[in-house]
Structure 1
Amino acid sequence: MMKILKINFIAALTLISSVGYSQYTGDNWSKVKGAGSGTISLAYVETPGFVYKDASGKLTGICVDIMNDFVAYVNAKKGVKVSTKFVGDGSSFRGMYDKVKASNGGVFGLGNVTMTDARKKEIQFSPAWITNFAILVTQSNVPTLTKMEDISKTFAGLTAYTAKGTLNEKRLLDIKSQYYPDMKVAYAASSPETLDKVLSDPNSFSYLDLAFYLDAVTRRKPLKRHPVGDKSSEQFGFIMPMNSDWQPIMEEFFSANGGYTNTIEYKKILSKHLGDTGVKLLQAAN
């Protein structure tokens, strides 16, 4: 009897685990092509400029507009009718990433997802559609850092805030290793919370992705950028499950007509959601 109960308990744990990593589903390209229509699911993490709600509560942003252009391209060029639906609540990067990784078929993840070799082993990426620009920030009362070698003096007594598992965490830990062995590191649950920590603590610093920095500047928050620490090495892409067959179609879309990121439509999208300041920063980074 105890053996049966144990087996049932293990089965229940397995079921709970599978529910915890509940999947999204969407139609594969092969199904859409054969049927002439289908639906894809768009998971997302809310990120200023990239995926956010407008005044009416509707999701918009660079990622949303690019995906709309992608769907319009597929419908026009392939003679099909693809519909989209948003899935998830957009509150967690890790939650979005893990669910897309565990999903099936036509599921896409939208947000500030950096393309890394490690991630390419567990998910598929679209071609890169932007180069991220990470900005070293403090509150405005902190003296300007002129050389990274001086950070232990200029930022003496400041605490570095970051979200665990992000590339910005790695950047800060590299600073600790190379220049500032006594640097204090404190963790936040997410990138938005990291920004909140820096804004609430005058003795703090962090790396912020461009979108979060611009959001704070737009809201006239007391942030100072330290240009000597600017980083622009990694790129963002949309993500898909390993079993998706949509990647070749995405590659076709991004390479058509001389390259999507070279088009006027794409540049208008950047200006619309990042503003002139954001576009100029991106141009300076590239």
Structure 2
Amino acid sequence: MHDLYFWYNQSAQMRKQFILIFLLVMGFQTGYANGDSWNKIVSEGKGVVKFYWYPNNVIIANSRDIIDGIEHDLAVSFVSYLEAMYNVDIELQWIETKSFDEVMNTVKDGSGGTFGASSISITPNRSRVYNFTEPYMADVAVLVSNASMPIALSESQLASILKESSAVSIRNTTLVESLQKLKGQLDITFDIRYVKNSGNIIDYINDNPNTFGYVDIANFLVAIESSSNVKRQFLFPVKLEGLAMVFPKNSDWTIPVNDYFNSARFQEDRQEIITKFLGSNATEIINRISKTAEMGPLEEIVLSNREKEAQYEMLLEAARKDQESTKLTTILSSIIAVALVVILLVFLLYKIKSRNNEQLLEQQKMIEERNSQLRSINEEKNNLIQVLAHDLRSPISNILNGSQIIQERENLSDDGSKIIGFIIQSSEKLNKLIDKILDVDAIETGRHNVQLESFPIHQIISRALEDNSAKAKTKNITLSEDISTDLNVKADKVYTTQVIDNLLSNAIKYSDEETTVEISAMIVNDMIRISVKDQGPGLSEDDQKKIFRKYQRLSAKPTKGEESLGLGLSIVKLFTERMGGFVTFDTKLGQGTTFHVSLRKG
């Protein structure tokens, strides 16, 4: 009997422990579960997508950060679009995290329909770890300070002001990275205090003298409507690629995400939602800034004019409150004095605004004239390039054909053969340069149409390897391939040939003698990913920023003195994106670079 009682007690304790562990595990899984894969939702007709966010409630009325509301409404529109387009039922769930890092780590380790929405800036480092949607808003941060601090007119003056003050920011964001960079640019040090979000940055600076920090342009435009103690410093604005939402690299949601974020519906939703939360004036400013590479003079004028309008409205509001307070008194002279002051202020502000508007119109007219001149010069440049390229091609072709005939028919000496060979090689090189220049010009001017069709990728790769084999042989470089014959892509054959040829040619050009260049193709996230790996010098951080720009010279040089026009990789990115794909790369200094081209499956 004693043994039976002991066994019963032990079993009860084990059952309690098992239930406790089960509840803990289920709680953990519920808090950090992944959304459903796109394939599952399509096959079953329903599923769940999860958005992880930080820091506030996504209902904008309860949020201090304006971006939360914009991202919430965009996510709702995204799900609504997919439900209508694919006839599925998708449940949208929002999961609040404890930190910005938790959002990013959850998405990085997640899969399927797992998204992050927390005013996330697109950066090269993040792009290697996450998939980004198309940006929904320009990512511009401006430097703001408490009104007790003077407005700096030069970098040296700004340095002397900030080194006596304290900064405020958000941990592990591009805002705090911008502050750290500012320290180096001005060669100063200052303390940084941390808050939860951009709204808290505005509040902190508004309430504390001698404080400053970076805030995103959207929250700044809202702040100037209500925070009278927050002023903008006109120096060192920061512009990145854009604000977007993230999802895992291994997610199969790439196609539905691209379907919506590359659609006209997204542009309409984006315009409507941003206008809803920021107003038409702020939306116009953000749209103007998003079309430029950086904050230019015209954007600075428009933003400054909006600040002056907000200050004018605040002054009128203050004057109105003053008038209301004077109604509590019975002294007629005080009422008259206040009325006169208000009238004087309104008159002066009207004159100032009129003068500013006149200056703005003059500056806009001057900028428009300059833009017209630049467009004219650009057109002339394009026409000149076309004329020169076409006019050069004919005599070069004649030289090439004549040289080839001489080489085939004449009994030449060794020196003569070398000279003719050099002429043929140089003529072919010039023809290739002309082809590249005309290709880029045709794409940029819209004269080249994309012809998408399904075809085996191994055919294009085999031809490219054969075309580049002689070039590789001159440097004893081994060309290695790992491609299945059953992989089909949906792309333009001409574009795809040019992309792969450019990548192979570039890899050979920057590789040392007696190394290996590898090319492979595989299915990744429902796309065909073609990878070209070299054993070259790798890319520095500076080279990584300009690798896809036209006519750029990199710090790495061709290993055998080969010529480089600086167009090859810009053509790769341009052609790939025109076919609905994208380009990424992995690199390490001293160990080489691997370029990945992802195209749709055929």
Q: TM-score range by the shorter chain?
A: 0.7 to 0.9
Alignment match, 2:46: 37
One-letter code of the match for 2:253? W
Residues 231-279 of structure 1: CA deviation (Å, up to 9, x unaligned): 222311111123321122111112223x733x3x321111111223432
Alignment match, 2:84: 76
CA contact (8 A) 1:135 1:231 kept: yes
CA contact (8 A) 2:50 2:94 kept: yes
SS of residue paired to 2:191: strand
| C-alpha distance in 2 between matches for 1:78 and 1:124 | 22
Please say if 1:122 is aligned against 2:122. no
CA contact (8 A) 1:47 1:211 kept: no
**Among residues 270, 273, 279, which one is paired with 1:269 in the alignment?**
273
One-letter code of the match for 1:184? F
Change beyond 3 A, Cα 1:266–1:163: closer
Change beyond 3 A, Cα 1:198–1:284: same
| C-alpha distance in 2 between matches for 1:277 and 1:194 | 23
Change beyond 3 A, Cα 1:149–1:279: farther
Change beyond 3 A, Cα 1:46–1:52: farther
Q: CA RMSD in A?
A: 3.0
Change beyond 3 A, Cα 1:134–1:225: same
| C-alpha distance in 2 between matches for 1:24 and 1:123 | 18
| C-alpha distance in 2 between matches for 1:283 and 1:120 | 23
**Among residues 32, 56, 65, which one is paired with 1:23 in the alignment?**
32
One-letter code of the match for 1:163? I
CA contact (8 A) 1:125 1:247 kept: no
CA contact (8 A) 1:232 1:285 kept: no
| C-alpha distance in 2 between matches for 1:174 and 1:60 | 27
CA contact (8 A) 1:161 1:205 kept: yes
Change beyond 3 A, Cα 1:271–1:47: farther
Matched ranges for 1:145-224 at <5 A: 145-181=152-188, 183-192=189-198, 193-224=200-231
**Among residues 284, 287, 298, which one is paired with 1:283 in the alignment?**
287
| C-alpha distance in 2 between matches for 1:231 and 1:277 | 21
Deviates more, 1:170-179 or 1:226-235: 226-235
Higher normalized contact order (CA 8 Å, seq sep 6+, divided by chain length): 1
CA contact (8 A) 1:158 1:184 kept: yes
Residues 69-117 of structure 1: CA deviation (Å, up to 9, x unaligned): 211211111121222111225x532222222222232111112011112
Gap runs ≥5 in structure 2: 1-20, 291-602
One-letter code of the match for 1:271? T
Query: How many pairs were matched up?
Result: 263
Structure with greater proportional helix content: 2
Alignment match, 2:140: 133
1:284 Cα offset (Å): 4.3
Residues 145-204 of structure 1: CA deviation (Å, up to 9, x unaligned): 2233431134351122223322122212222112142x3122314334444442332011
Residues 113-153 of structure 1: CA deviation (Å, up to 9, x unaligned): 11112112322211222111211100112111223343113
One-letter code of the match for 2:193? Y
What TM-score, normalized to structure 1?
0.80
Alignment match, 2:75: 67
| C-alpha distance in 2 between matches for 1:60 and 1:191 | 10
**Among residues 238, 255, 275, which one is paired with 2:262 in the alignment?**
255
Change beyond 3 A, Cα 1:52–1:225: farther
Please say if 1:87 is aligned against 2:95. yes
Is the radius of gyration larger for structure 1 or structure 2?
Answer: 2
Gap runs ≥5 in structure 1: 1-11
SS of residue paired to 1:128: coil
One-letter code of the match for 1:268? E
SS of residue paired to 2:212: strand
Deviates more, 1:135-144 or 1:194-203: 194-203
CA contact (8 A) 2:68 2:119 kept: no
CA contact (8 A) 2:56 2:68 kept: no
One-letter code of the match for 1:127? E
Alignment match, 1:4: none
* Percent pairwise identity: 23
| C-alpha distance in 2 between matches for 1:24 and 1:241 | 13
Change beyond 3 A, Cα 1:46–1:212: farther
